Structure 1
Amino acid sequence: MKILAVTARAVDCGFQKQALQTSRVASPMSRFPQFAERRSSWMWPTKKVFLRIETEDGLTGWSCTNGGEVVELILNAHLARLLDGQDAGDIDLLWDQMVAALLPNDRSGFAMMAVAAVDIALWDLRAKRAAVPLVDVLGGARTDTLRTYATTPQPDALAGGAWAGLKAAAPYGPEAGAEGLAENVALMHRFAKAAGPETPIMIDAFMAWDADYALRFAEAMADLPLAWLEDPLPPNDIDGLIRLRDGMDPSVPLALGNFAFSRSDCAELMRAGVAGILQPDVAWAGGITEALRILDMAAETDTPVILHNTCEQPWSLSLAAARQDDALVEFVDRGAQSPLYGLIAPHPDIQAGQTPVPRDAAGYRPAEVALSAFPSPTLQGA
C-alpha cells in the first residue's frame, strides 16, 4: 500500500488555557521572574499537530502530537516528501529513514514528535487494514482495564476516586527559597490528606530543581509516603541525578523520561542507575515503534515503565494493555470540559481508577475542532 499523501496541520486546541498552564507550576524557566508565575508565559509552541496519511488503497491513518508549527514544518517540509510513494506497511524501515534524515541537524523533542506522528499514523493504518483494534495488532490485551493514577491541581475534588495515586505539580523551585520549599511540602500534606492512607502520592518537579534543593525536599518529606519524585532535574544533568539518587531514601524512586526522546536517551538514564521508573511519552519519543523498543529494553533490567500522559493517547493505552503486566497509566486532570481529551478518539470512561482499553477497530479520527484544518473530501470515510 503506497503512501499517496502526508499532511500535517497545527491546531490550537486550548492547551495554554489549562489550569496547569495558567497557575504557578515550577519549570526550568522559574528562575527567571518574568516567566515564573505561569507556564503559558514561555511554553514552546503548544498547538496540537494532526497528521493524516493517505494510501493508494483508500485508507487514511491519523495521529496527533505536540510541537505546534515547528513539528508541522518538519512534517510538511521534510518528512512528507521522503514518505511519498513508500510502502506504508514497512514501518520499521520508514522509522529508520526518518531518523537518519533528521540526524544531521536535529535530535530534539520536536524532531522525534514529528517521527512519532508518522509512526502512530502508520500503526493506525496497519490496524485499519487488519480491521481490528490497535491493541490486537500489538499482541492482544492482557486486561480489560488499566490501573490509573491522576495528575491534578485539585486533589480534594478527586479524593475517594479509587485512584492508584494522586500526583502534584510542584509550584516552586530553588528561586523561591525556604518559603517556597515549605509551600511544596504543605501541598504534599494536602495531597496526602486527600488521598488517604492507602493511596500513594507523587510530585512532578518538571526539571525545575537542582540536586541540593531536591535533597532538602526529600528530607522534609520523610514523614509522608512519597511514591516517586518525577523529573527533579534536567535529564542531561546525569551527575546531579546520581548525587540525588545516592543521597535520597532508596525506597523513593526517581521517575524520569518524560523528556527522554528516544531509547538512547532512556538507555543513558538506565546506565547511570538513576531511573527507578521510566516515563517516556509515546507521542514525543518516536512513536509506537520506539516505545516498543524502550519497553523491551526496560524489561531486561526490570525497570518499571509508566507511559506519560497515557489517557490522552489511545495508542499508549493500547501499548500498556498489550505489552505490560499490571500496567499503571496516567490521567492528567484538565477539568470537566477540557478540549484536550477526545481529540483523536473518545474520552476514556475512567471509573473507580480504572481506564478501559480502547477497542474501536475504526481507528483514529480527529475531533470536530481539528476537522476544519483538513478541508479535504478524503476526510469523509477516513
Structure 2
Amino acid sequence: MKITSLSARAVDCGFNSQKLQTSRVASPMSRFPRFAEQRASWMWPTKKVFVRVTGEDGLTGWGCTNGGEIVEMIVNAHLSRLLVGEEIGEIPALNEMMAAALLPNDRSGFAMMAVAGIDIALWDLTAKARSLPLAEVLGGAGGETLPVYITTPRPEAFAGTSWPGLKAAAPYGPEAGEEGLAENVALMRRFAQAAGDGVPIMIDAFLAWDADYTLRFAEACADLPLAWIEDPIHPQDIDGLQKIRREMDPGIDLALGNFAFSRADCADLLRSGVVGVLQPDVAWAGGITEVRRILAMAEAAQTPVILHNTCEQPWALALAAACQGDALVECVDRGETSPLYELMGPRPDITDGRVAVPLDPEGNRPPQIALTAFDAGANHTKGG
C-alpha cells in the first residue's frame, strides 16, 4: 500500500494553561527572573501537532507530537514530499529515510518530533489495515494493564492509594539559594508523607540544577525514600552526570533520556554508565520505530526503561505492553478534565495504580478541533 497524502496541523490544545505550566516549576530559564515563575512564560511552541497519513486504500493513520508550527513546517514543507508515493510496508526504512533527510541540519528535538509524528501515524495506519490493535501488531500485549506512577503537583490527593510511586516537579534551582533548596526538600517530605510506607518518591528537576546542587539535594533527602532524580542537568553534560553518579548515594538513581531525541543520544547516555532509568518519549524520540531500537539497546545494557508521559500516548502504552511486559509507565496529573488525556482516543482507564492497555483496533482518533484544522487547510494535504 502506497502513501497518497501526508500532512500536519499545529493545534492549540491548551497545554500552556495546565497547572504544571502556570505554577512555579524549575527549568533552564529559572535563573532569569522574568521567566522563573511560570513555564508558560517561555516554553517552546506548545501547540500539539497532528499528523495524518492516507494510504491508497483510503484508510487514514494518525500521529500526534509536540513542537507547534516548527514541527508542522518540517512535516509539510520537507518530509511529506519525500514520503508520498512510498510503500508503507517497511516503516523502519521510511523512518531511516526521514532521519537521513534531516541529518545535515538537525537530529534533535523538533526534527525528531516531526519524524515521530509521521512514524506513529504510519504504525496506526498499518494496524488499521490489519484490523488489529497496535499492541498486537507490535508483538502482543503481555497483559491487559500496566503499573503506573503519577507525576503530580498535589501529592495529598493520592495519599493512601495504590500508585506505585509519586513524582514531584522541583519548584526551585540554585538561583533560589538555601531557601529554595529547603523548599525542595520540604516538598519531598510532603510527598513521602502522602505516599506512605514502602512507596517510592521521585523528583523531576527539568535541567534546572547543576552537579553540586544535585548532590546537596540528595544529601538533604538521605532519610527519605527517594528513588530517583530526573534530568537534574543537561544530558550532554556527561562529566557533570558522572560526577553526580560517583558522589551521590548509590541507592538514588538518575532518570535520564526525556531530552534524548534518538538512539544516538540514548547510546551516549548508556555508554556513560550514569543511567539508572532511561526515559525516552515516543512522540519526541523518533516515534515507535526509533524507540523500539532504544529499548533493544537498553535491554542489552541491562537498564530499565520507563517511557516518558506514557498515559497521554496510547501508542506508548501499546509499545510498553508489547515490548516491555509489566513495565512501569508514567501518568502526568493534569486534573480531572484536561483535554490532553483524550487527544487521540478515550481517556485511559487507571484503577488501583494500573492503566489499561489500549486494545481498540480502530486506533488513533483525533478530536474535532484537529479535524477542523485539517479541513481548513485541505489545500495542503498532498505532498505537503
The one-letter amino acid paired with 2:149 is Y
Partner of 1:283: 283
Q: In the alignment, does 2:76 pair up with 1:94? A: no
Structural mapping, 1:101-250, within 5 Å:
101-250=101-250
- Shift of residue 129, structure 1, vs aligned partner: 1.0
Output one character per residue of 1:281-337: Cα deviation in whole Å (capped at 9) or x when no partner: 000000000010010111112100000000000000001111113200000000111
The one-letter amino acid paired with 2:145 is T
Structural mapping, 1:1-382, within 5 Å:
1-375=1-375
- Shift of residue 228, structure 1, vs aligned partner: 0.7
- Shift of residue 144, structure 1, vs aligned partner: 1.1
Q: Is the CA contact (8 Å cut-off) linking 1:133 and 1:359 kept in structure 2?
A: yes
Alpha-carbon distance in structure 2 between the residues aligned to 1:301 and 1:270: 7
Q: Secondary structure at the residue paired with 2:147? A: strand
Q: Secondary structure at the residue paired with 1:327? A: coil
Alpha-carbon distance in structure 1 between the residues aligned to 2:90 and 2:376: 26
Alpha-carbon distance in structure 2 between the residues aligned to 1:75 and 1:220: 46
TM-score by length of 1: 0.98
Q: Is the CA contact (8 Å cut-off) linking 1:48 and 1:64 kept in structure 2?
A: yes
Q: Secondary structure at the residue paired with 2:374? A: coil
Alpha-carbon distance in structure 2 between the residues aligned to 1:268 and 1:161: 37
Q: Secondary structure at the residue paired with 1:153? A: coil
- Shift of residue 272, structure 1, vs aligned partner: 0.6
The one-letter amino acid paired with 2:28 is P
Alpha-carbon distance in structure 1 between the residues aligned to 2:12 and 2:308: 21
Aligned residues with identical type, % of pairs? 70
Alpha-carbon distance in structure 2 between the residues aligned to 1:50 and 1:345: 13
Output one character per residue of 1:128-181: Cα deviation in whole Å (capped at 9) or x when no partner: 111010000011011111000000001011212210100000000000000000
- Shift of residue 377, structure 1, vs aligned partner: 12
Q: Is the CA contact (8 Å cut-off) linking 1:261 and 1:286 kept in structure 2?
A: yes
Alpha-carbon distance in structure 2 between the residues aligned to 1:41 and 1:236: 25
Q: Secondary structure at the residue paired with 2:342? A: coil
The one-letter amino acid paired with 1:366 is P
Q: Please, what is the CA RMSD of the aligned residues? A: 1.1
Q: Is the CA contact (8 Å cut-off) linking 1:89 and 1:122 kept in structure 2?
A: no
The one-letter amino acid paired with 1:123 is W
Residue ranges of structure 2 left out of the alignment (5+ in a row):
379-384
- Shift of residue 232, structure 1, vs aligned partner: 0.4
Alpha-carbon distance in structure 2 between the residues aligned to 1:325 and 1:337: 29
Q: Secondary structure at the residue paired with 1:76? A: helix
- Name the count of aligned residue pairs: 378
Alpha-carbon distance in structure 2 between the residues aligned to 1:56 and 1:86: 11
The one-letter amino acid paired with 2:134 is L
Alpha-carbon distance in structure 2 between the residues aligned to 1:201 and 1:371: 39
- Shift of residue 357, structure 1, vs aligned partner: 0.5
Alpha-carbon distance in structure 2 between the residues aligned to 1:282 and 1:183: 33
Q: Secondary structure at the residue paired with 1:74? A: helix
Residue ranges of structure 1 left out of the alignment (5+ in a row):
none
Alpha-carbon distance in structure 1 between the residues aligned to 2:10 and 2:319: 25
